[in-house]
Structure 1
């Protein structure tokens, strides 16, 4: 792993650990993070020696979603293609994460927002620090959502609560996420790394074939992610060219409250 890597990958006795390493930017998803994360996930999925996966992040925040500075550059280059990243990066990444046959544990710290939330929900077992704040965040910049959230949130929470969270963008806490069944365990922030690693290690030392079948059975009950990803891509391409989206992104970067015109 070089110093230029923004995603780390290590393998120890059957446990693969994937680490977001752009902590200084709150692990915002720029092209490098998205491409390296997809590569790491694909390597893990193809490795017969992997018996469990731990997805974690360096820095104060797990992931704040798409890097909006990069996104603005895309809008300025041409709004018609600014949302190409959904089809090129997010959809392949979510398919690859969902395709990992062995258990995936996600250690969530700090902020888990937008596509960061979508990535976290692609895991099987989520452990959150007590201070974590979650949000969908997409409608705040006049988008509908990507990274599978239109599927995974509905599966986890039901259509009513999922719709409210996606439309209103309300922040919610680790305690609420636990109460709703969105995370498996909440621990003190200082204990997150040790707890998540111990849990992932337990799974790596367990009956892997049984875990694979459990995951396959559960996945069969929540089929529909591929179709949801395609619908999200279509919505992103449409909304990425809207007046409201561009003005909202500019307002966000300028730390102003956006004004929406409805177009």
Structure 2
């Protein structure tokens, strides 16, 4: 494991785990944490040994949102701050050519809720919770929450959660489609690693193209999505992964989607 002041980075079996490391503040975000996390994500993208990225938090919290003390009296506008820190981070996560798992181990509040929602897959601990606390200090949800949340729960429910800063439990999150799996608190780290390793064993090139197709389809017409699928399917079909998958099917064995060397 390598450590920076605010991010812990570790790689095992093709899984790069990036841990927000301000546990004494429930991993509330300052500029150092946000910029370092963005940089670590870009390093993971360029590392051929990394097939899946996991973002999680140290201690009891996932991310309690913005550390207000870090921005107090700094003279930077809200717009400047978002464009300098959160927006590049969220764009990096969504644009990364590798799957990103948000492993929500505890409270995810404010911009931390946006980070929890931004992963390609969201895994929650049983004791985790999410809350859009922005309205408590008369701000609007940012860092992608107005895009992520209504796509998961619908416009009206998203507005209600944002207006009242309601807390969403893991059970409710699973039912509402805000996460894909909920694991016990005491085995969460091991369960996330096992899940991520399963994902890392899948065809990396095909998953990259799948992510690209899904991102495009979110803002396209059906005709545009059909054209995009046809173009990307050719790229997938021309790959060694496809040849391996077909060969493995014919030979009645599990495909080997990770090349040695």
Provide TM-score, normalisation by structure 1. Answer: 0.78
Moved over 6 A (4+): none
Find the counterpart in structure 2 of residue 19 from structure 1.
19
Q: Is the 8 A contact 1:44 1:100 kept in 2?
A: no
**1:9-43 CA deviation, whole Å, 9 max, x = no partner?**
22334221111111111100011111111111121
One of 94, 113, 118 as aligned partner of 1:117: 113
Q: Is the 8 A contact 1:155 1:222 kept in 2?
A: no
Report which structure shows greater RCO (CA 8 Å, sep ≥6).
1
Question: What is the alpha-carbon distance in structure 2 between the residues aligned to residue 3 and residue 213 of structure 1?
Answer: 32
> SS of the counterpart of 1:156?
helix
Question: What is the alpha-carbon distance in structure 2 between the residues aligned to residue 205 and residue 118 of structure 1?
Answer: 28
Q: Does 1:69 align with 2:66?
A: no
- Cα deviation, residue 54, structure 1: 1.2
Question: What is the alpha-carbon distance in structure 2 between the residues aligned to residue 3 and residue 116 of structure 1?
Answer: 21
Aligned length: 220
Find the counterpart in structure 1 of residue 128 from structure 2.
132
Q: Is the 8 A contact 1:6 1:20 kept in 2?
A: yes
Structure 2 residues not aligned, in runs of 5+ = 221-261
Q: Is the 8 A contact 2:170 2:182 kept in 1?
A: yes
Question: What is the alpha-carbon distance in structure 1 between the residues aligned to residue 16 and residue 152 of structure 2?
Answer: 26
Find the counterpart in structure 2 of residue 211 from structure 1.
207
What aligned pairs does 1:141-160 form with structure 2 within 5 A after superposition? 141-160=137-156
> SS of the counterpart of 1:131?
coil
Deviates more, 1:38-47 or 1:142-151: 38-47
Structure with larger Rg: 2
What aligned pairs does 1:7-86 form with structure 2 within 5 A after superposition? 7-74=7-74, 78=75, 81=77, 83-86=79-82
Question: What is the alpha-carbon distance in structure 2 between the residues aligned to residue 46 and residue 149 of structure 1?
Answer: 27
1:223/1:41 CA distance change after superposition, 3 Å:
farther
Q: Does 1:194 align with 2:190?
A: yes
- Cα deviation, residue 73, structure 1: 3.2
Find the counterpart in structure 2 of residue 6 from structure 1.
6
